[in-house]
Structure 1
């Protein structure tokens, strides 16, 4: 009986993969034909009540000219915002990533240097940029991603250690995933993991990252459940993650120049499912960082081609289109790497590698007094 059930589930999974590949191949910002998607809308789309519950007019990022980024930072690989609204920075101190940092098997070649001596995790006052506290010294080798969950826990990835860490808000270690300095592709190993996100259920989503190009799901205790790799979706460097109100996880698929959103819990095999999709735009280039607030995705790209400007994007995740471009007013982005949104929707932060700094943007309603009712009508489903 169990074998028949497993065989049935495998058939359903294969069918879903076929459907998914068809959907993602037809969705882009320039010429999406709604008829290609209408046949799926009964299973994917929010209900009208769900839509109104989570809907909010898109917020416009405007550079905060009074903000001063902390100085004397290393490469700022990650930013997050804790539940109190303060910024958390994850930086690399005196370390950099170059051609000789890893060998051809992704093994870290600079272990002899020991861990970074200075505090790599810094809590920063959201009002003025002053450092409130720091920790993480003598611990990390090559920081990458940081995520603050609703309980204030801090999740970190280290691409040299090939590990994921969970800490309390004050730096008490609670969980380690992966094997120290041991890259691998099985369910118990990572290879240069890039990002972490935590679902409302407590399940842990890891973007495993530069080598394996996959997503790995763990239960809330850190027990591995399964990996989502090429048998489900083809990714080329899943670089950052964010979670939408419908619990879909959106991925910055960096080298494919797109954002992919999917249900990593495989409830797509159940009745009220959310089918995966991808979002493209001609100006995306390499998407490095994504964050979201009330169903709108905020993203930053990085160096790609000469004709691709480095900037920020505001994306409507329901209509799947870019609704605004934005960037600093006082200067330009050089090498953005990560982005984070305040849980109260008051501010957005972008970290850069190159000029090792953090930009703060205030999130405000549009100054042209756009009619919110019209926005709702535009987002209604025909």
Structure 2
């Protein structure tokens, strides 16, 4: 807690009958006074039915915790779903109350354990993600945490809903919600495991739709910042077999230290298309902690690599600006599907024309930015069927895109116009664009673990070229469909001459942003530079 339990973060709760609870190897809660944690106090609450009585005189409440100074590989955090604005009609066999929120984030979190909390009339309390049932608990049993044996992966950018079911047949009057024992409650605690914390509250309203109040670490770049005192180069990766870097993804196969690199292996982009696949591996997995290559793959599939995306199921999505295709590989690297017509540029629904990147929705639909010689985003269903063409009139190189799932908004890089254009992912309706002309051309867009959006820009037509990372800080809440202006927070990245793609991750242990930039040059060569920016 930062001061007291009202403003703190829940760590654990238990009741009569609870046994030992093991978080698992190299996993635990992180507490302390450091920025990014902000929990210098541990606060214990004890709840008794009767504070002073003969029955409770001998009762005690205690917990034994095991502490270490070693930072855990898996960070445990808590997400609470609660509804406190409802009443229940009497003499009903089943009444349901729901707290539902779209949970922000770019990936997924593992469900380690859960706890349900209701009172006299509560029966079962359950969790669903995008209407898929995950776990449920009996609210009449003692309120302690139950391990999730399946260790479900909960997709972020999805609707998470806790449903509390009640039986009021024994009541002759309306049952009200409240904090007392004779009142009713609707609470579900989710103990989540990831490499960063996801503490949050989802508070349900009368209709069930709620508002998420996240307590994530503050990853916002400060408005007044001494970059020299905060930014440092961690590593520069250059090797003979590394070609121009088309795409980067950090967190490959769920390992936060594995960087997937999509490169051109000695080939360069020309005005005409190369019709022959590259015979060498063009995908490399680089362990950023051990500073070594883990594996390579992808030979014989790609003519000129460009964009790279890895979805929440670890499928690999790629684009090729010479073969005119977008590809889906399964997590093992096996080709699953392609869209577009091989080695044919075109402007109709069957063709793509130098496609640049893919964004994937939680329902399996995917979006392809198309591209160098079309002015659109093409939406496909999970099988590769065209759903819609989302037009971008007068665009000049549609070079990158990301999807904000909770607001259902596509952020699209209109590279040569230095704009980021915002589209409704369903209707294609366009909202006011973000003007990044003061920072140069917009080459790439990405998200961190918490769904914060960044742009990589390049001032290339000046005597001294400059590269910037720009973080978008919304002044208006996009989640209420108020498309307002953004605070643009830039960081100049020194030593970057030919930027093309990047990845950004929150480093919880150091309370910093880890930034990886891939370059397409000089010549057929590429490199990846990693930075740390202290928050």
Q: TM-score, normalised on structure 2?
A: 0.52
1:261 to 422, 429, 433: 422
1:150 to 307, 312, 329: 312
Q: Cα 1:239–1:151, aligned 2, differ >3 Å: closer, same or farther?
A: same
CA distance in 1, matches of 2:290, 2:499: 21
1:285 to 440, 446, 450: 440
CA distance in 2, matches of 1:277, 1:199: 22
Task: Kindly provide the CA deviation profile for residues 152-194 of structure 1, in whole angstroms up to 9, marking residues without a partner as x.
Answer: 1100101110001000222111111111101111111101000
CA distance in 2, matches of 1:265, 1:241: 15
Assess if the C-alpha contact under 8 Å between 1:295 and 1:317 holds in 2. no
CA distance in 1, matches of 2:500, 2:417: 16
Larger Rg: 2
Cα shift at 1:137 = 1.0
5 Å-filtered alignment, 1:347-358, equals: 347-355=514-522, 356-358=526-528
Assess if the C-alpha contact under 8 Å between 2:417 and 2:437 holds in 1. no
Match of residue 316 from structure 1: 473
5 Å-filtered alignment, 1:63-212, equals: 65-72=233-240, 73-81=242-250, 82=252, 83-85=254-256, 86-98=258-270, 101-102=271-272, 108=273, 110-111=274-275, 114-212=276-374
Q: Cα 1:118–1:224, aligned 2, differ >3 Å: closer, same or farther?
A: same
Q: Which secondary structure does the structure 2 equivalent of 1:137 belong to?
A: coil
CA distance in 1, matches of 2:263, 2:436: 30
Match of residue 399 from structure 2: 239
Assess if the C-alpha contact under 8 Å between 1:54 and 1:295 holds in 2. no
Q: Which secondary structure does the structure 2 equivalent of 1:181 belong to?
A: coil
Q: Cα 1:131–1:64, aligned 2, differ >3 Å: closer, same or farther?
A: farther
Q: Which secondary structure does the structure 2 equivalent of 1:311 belong to?
A: strand
CA distance in 2, matches of 1:163, 1:115: 12
Task: Kindly provide the CA deviation profile for residues 20-63 of structure 1, in whole angstroms up to 9, marking residues without a partner as x.
Answer: xxxxxxxxxxxxxxxxxxxxxxxxxxx9924x348763345965
Cα shift at 1:247 = 3.0
Q: Which secondary structure does the structure 2 equivalent of 1:255 belong to?
A: helix
Q: Cα 1:116–1:343, aligned 2, differ >3 Å: closer, same or farther?
A: farther
CA distance in 2, matches of 1:74, 1:210: 21
CA distance in 2, matches of 1:259, 1:66: 29
Match of residue 336 from structure 1: 499
Work out the number of aligned pairs and report it.
298
Cα shift at 1:252 = 1.0
Q: Cα 1:234–1:129, aligned 2, differ >3 Å: closer, same or farther?
A: farther
Cα shift at 1:276 = 2.3
Match of residue 378 from structure 1: none
Q: Cα 1:347–1:215, aligned 2, differ >3 Å: closer, same or farther?
A: same
Q: Which secondary structure does the structure 1 equivalent of 2:467 belong to?
A: coil
Assess if the C-alpha contact under 8 Å between 1:146 and 1:156 holds in 2. yes
Q: Cα 1:192–1:339, aligned 2, differ >3 Å: closer, same or farther?
A: same
Q: Which secondary structure does the structure 2 equivalent of 1:67 belong to?
A: strand
CA distance in 2, matches of 1:55, 1:236: 37
Q: Cα 1:170–1:68, aligned 2, differ >3 Å: closer, same or farther?
A: farther
Cα shift at 1:254 = 0.4
Once superposed, what is the RMSD of the aligned Cα atoms?
2.6
Q: Which secondary structure does the structure 1 equivalent of 2:379 belong to?
A: strand
The structure with the largest strand share of the pair is 2
> Which region of structure 1 is more displaced relative to structure 2, 318-327 or 285-294?
318-327
Q: Cα 1:187–1:53, aligned 2, differ >3 Å: closer, same or farther?
A: farther
> Does structure 1 residue 219 correspond to structure 2 residue 381?
yes
Match of residue 58 from structure 1: 219
Assess if the C-alpha contact under 8 Å between 1:297 and 1:314 holds in 2. yes
Q: Which secondary structure does the structure 1 equivalent of 2:235 belong to?
A: coil
- Structure possessing the higher relative contact order (Cα contacts under 8 Å, 6 or more residues apart): 1
Name stretches of at least 5 consecutive residues in structure 2 with no aligned partner: 1-208, 222-226, 477-484
CA distance in 1, matches of 2:363, 2:400: 20
Q: Cα 1:91–1:267, aligned 2, differ >3 Å: closer, same or farther?
A: closer
CA distance in 1, matches of 2:497, 2:359: 26
The structure with the largest helix share of the pair is 1
Q: Cα 1:309–1:344, aligned 2, differ >3 Å: closer, same or farther?
A: closer
CA distance in 1, matches of 2:214, 2:408: 14
